[in-house]
Structure formats: C-alpha cells, structure tokens
C-alpha cells in the first residue's frame, strides 16, 4: 500500500467572554480582540501498517501528559495510530501551560477552554484520518534570509525553510503543504493585545491562495532565540514576513518532482532528564505547571523520527538552539536523508534546549541577562539527552531496514 494522506482543520480561538491571558511574554496580558483565528491543522499519513497524524496547533505549547491524553482519545477510535501535536509557539494565543496568568501565583489556563481544546484536537486528528486518499510527495528546501535573526548568538543561524507538499497520486493536484521554519512567531511584540498566529497567518494564506489546498505551518529549532528580523512589530511586518516565506516555498516546490512513497517509518524514543531549573520547580510546587515527576525528580519526555520518501523529520520536545539544530540536520543527512527537517515543541514543551557546553545558569534567574534561555530550560542535561535520543532513533531505524532487506 502506497502513501495515503488526509487533512482536517478546526478553529481553536478562545472566546473573549472570559479573560484570555496571552502567553509568551509577561503575565496579565489580556486579549482584547481577535485579529485572525487560531487553528488546529491535522495531517494524517498512512502506508502499509504505519499510521501517524501530525497536528499543528496555534498555541504556545502543550505538556506531554496532556498530549498523551489526546492520543489515547484518538486511539480509542483509531487503534494503532500515533499522534504528534506540535505547537506553533505563537506568543499571541491563550496560556496553555500555566505561566502567564494575572499574577505569579495564578494559572493562566482557562479550564473550560482547555477541556474543549483537547477534545477538538482529538476530533480534528480523527477527521483527518477518515479522509485518507492516495498521495505522492514533493519535497524541497530553500534558504530564506533576512527575516529572522539569532538574538543570543547572531553568528549561528538556521534560515532553511523546509517544504513538503502532498499531491494527488494520479493528477498531482496539491492536497496539503507542510512548511517548517525556525523562528518564534513574535513579530507582534509584548504590547500586542490581539489574538493572532503572527507571521504564520499570512504564510499559510499565501500558499493556500496559490495552490487551492491547505497549508500547515510548524516551527523548527527556534531557540537561541531565533526571532523575527522585520523592521517593526506591526501587523504589516508580520504580513510581509509570512508572504516572503510563502512565496519562497512556492518557488522551491515548483522545482520539485512528485515522488511515489511506498512506505513511511515512524518511531519514538522515551528518555528522562532532571528537572534542575529552580524556577520550574517553584512553578510546579505552586501549581502553575502541571504533570507528574518521576520518583527521582526527573521528567520523562520523548523524541520521534518520521521518514517519508527522501525526507526525514525529527520531532523535538522543546525549543532547540540552532547550534544543536544544525548538528541534528547534519546527522540526518549523514544517515541518508536528502531533506532533513526539524520540528520543535512536538509532544512536549521543555523550554529551551541548549548544547551542554553553552549552558550557564544565571546567578539571578529573575534577571538572567545573557542567559535568559538557561532560565527557561529544564536543565543542562536535556540537550545531550536529546542528542542521544536521535542516535537511538536512527540506529533502530537502520536496524529495522537491514532486517527487512534480509
């Protein structure tokens, strides 16, 4: 059985009838209006006995235990299907983690909205799975410069836009386009009170208008932090950035030939890392962050790998710095991937993930200075642990392929 693809989307914009605390900058930033709707966009893939659904959600992030509950709901209706929920990390959507409420002791998550959100993510994923149809794949990558910068280390940037377009197997008509770019959706800055998906809104729209098919946006190794380099912080700037990315994707994909995909390979690796950050520890003790720690005080998280055609996607549970991201892409290419794609904030949000040699926890995490990323990371060990997880995933993938060839 060759590749089949299905797509579905749902609006996940919260109602403004109750206070909506916007996540990503300071506390008590309340939404005043909706500039553009937030979406859950689901892409289902199946070939032979492997099925995976990728959902891009216009949210700051979701904790792993919440995504596990969503996956269980999906599997009740579709046994064996695996789920990846990747947050786009917009800084202008509702608090879904708990850190951006009205004050430092109050969660910013609205329980009613959050329950509806989880149900919507599950039903959207299932709707995509129910719409499977034969598909082929176009894959491309292009460098898009001067729209993003590394605020921590300007010398290290990843400006690659990864483009996967699924087309009808017979007619090659576009069915859905997946774009991944490593940059925070924060063209609009901390004084913005309007709900928006930021530059992703116009990026998706530009592709959809040109192809007549839906577009899904995800983010890559955006730590560092990789932030927009637009001249201002207006909606016009966000619009322009998205259009630049969308048009670059269309140009790159126009040169890519459709490829038949006979199989896909998806596998996960669970690993543990200490929760060493005292700020995160305090947030859990105060009930702002939820989820259970292991008996040793560590966190169990996951990474996963999807191989499809000549592309391989590495799903990462947080905001990976570009130095690590570039190394991961090199590792994937050395393992045979023509197109090495990184997706961040996938199935967890652990904050920033740094190379161990760069990790210096600030003396005062409330005034971290040049080490803000360390103050918003679970700890120094998560970077090496994620690197080891990629090695395990690639080793297991190659072992399976060797056994199949034999």
pLDDT digits (tens, 9 = 90+) for 349-376: 999 999 999 999 999 999 999 999 999 9
> What is the predicted pLDDT for the residue at 302?
98
Banded model confidence at residue 215, pLDDT cuts 50, 70, 90: very high
pLDDT score recorded for residue 106? 96
**Alpha-carbon gap, residue 380 to 363, rounded angstroms:** 15
User: Tokens 């998706």, residue?
Assistant: 204
What pLDDT does 1 receive?
Answer: 72
Predicted local distance difference test score (pLDDT) of residue 400: 61
Does the structure show a pLDDT above 70 at 292? yes
The pTM (predicted TM-score) of the whole model is 0.96
Beta pairing class for 33-34 and 194-195: parallel
- Number of neighbours of residue 149 by Cβ within 10 angstroms: 17
What is the pLDDT at residue 296?
85
Average pLDDT of every residue of the chain: 96
Q: Please give the Cα distance from 193 to 177 (Å, whole number).
A: 30
Percent of the chain with pLDDT over 90: 94
Q: Is residue 252 reached through a cis peptide bond, with omega within 30 degrees of 0 on the bond before it? A: no
Determine which of 1-15, 154-168, 256-270, 389-403 has the lowest per-residue pLDDT on average.
389-403
41-75 pLDDT per residue, tens: 999 999 999 999 999 999 999 999 999 999 999 99
Neighbour count for residue 269 (Cβ, 10 Å): 19
d(CA 66, CA 60): 14
Contact 199, 184 (CB under 8 A): no
Specify the pLDDT at position 297.
Answer: 84
* pLDDT given for residue 399 in this prediction: 61
Average pLDDT over residues 390-402: 80
- Find out whether 73 and 122 touch, Cβ atoms under 8 Å: yes
Residue 182: is its pLDDT beyond 90?
yes
User: Is residue 403's pLDDT more than 60?
Assistant: no
Q: How much is the pLDDT for 233? A: 96
């Amino acid at each position: 059985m060759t590749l089949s693809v299905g797509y579905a989307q749902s609006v996940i914009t919260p109602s403004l009838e109750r206070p909506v605390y916007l996540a990503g900058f300071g506390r008590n930033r309340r939404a005043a209006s909706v500039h553009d709707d937030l979406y859950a966009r689901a892409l289902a893939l199946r070939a032979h006995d492997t099925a995976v659904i990728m959902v891009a959600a216009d949210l700051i992030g979701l904790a792993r235990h919440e995504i596990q509950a969503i996956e269980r709901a999906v599997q009740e209706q579709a046994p064996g299907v695996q789920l990846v929920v990747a947050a786009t990390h917009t800084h202008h959507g509702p608090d879904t983690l708990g850190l951006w409420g009205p004050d430092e002791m109050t969660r910013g998550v609205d329980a009613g909205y959050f329950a509806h959100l989880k149900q919507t993510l599950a039903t959207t994923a299932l709707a995509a799975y129910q719409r499977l149809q034969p598909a082929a794949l176009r894959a491309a990558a292009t460098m898009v410069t001067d729209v993003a910068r590394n605020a921590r280390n300007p010398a290290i940037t990843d400006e690659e836009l990864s483009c996967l377009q699924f087309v009808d197997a017979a007619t090659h008509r576009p069915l859905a386009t997946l774009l991944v770019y490593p940059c925070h959706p924060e063209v609009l800055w901390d004084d913005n009170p309007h709900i928006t998906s930021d530059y992703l809104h116009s990026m998706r729209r530009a592709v959809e208008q040109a192809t007549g098919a839906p577009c899904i946006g995800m983010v890559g190794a955006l730590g560092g932090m990789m932030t927009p380099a637009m001249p201002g912080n207006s909606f016009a700037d966000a619009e322009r950035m998205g259009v630049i990315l969308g048009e670059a994707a269309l140009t790159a994909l126009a040169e890519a030939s459709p490829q038949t995909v006979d199989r896909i390979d998806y596998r996960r690796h669970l690993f543990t890392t200490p929760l060493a950050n005292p700020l995160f520890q305090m947030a859990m003790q105060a009930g702002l962050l939820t989820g259970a720690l292991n008996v040793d005080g560590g966190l169990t998280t996951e990474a996963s790998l999807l191989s499809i055609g000549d592309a391989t996607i590495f799903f990462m549970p947080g905001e990976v710095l570009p130095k690590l991201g570039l190394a991961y892409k090199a590792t994937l290419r050395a393992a045979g991937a023509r197109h090495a794609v990184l997706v961040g904030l996938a199935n967890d949000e652990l904050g920033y993930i740094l190379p161990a040699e760069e990790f210096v926890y600030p003396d005062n995490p409330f005034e971290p200075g040049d080490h803000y990323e360390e103050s918003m990371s679970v700890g120094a060990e998560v970077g090496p642990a994620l690197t080891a997880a990629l090695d395990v995933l690639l080793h297991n993938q190659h072992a399976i392929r060797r056994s199949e060839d034999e």
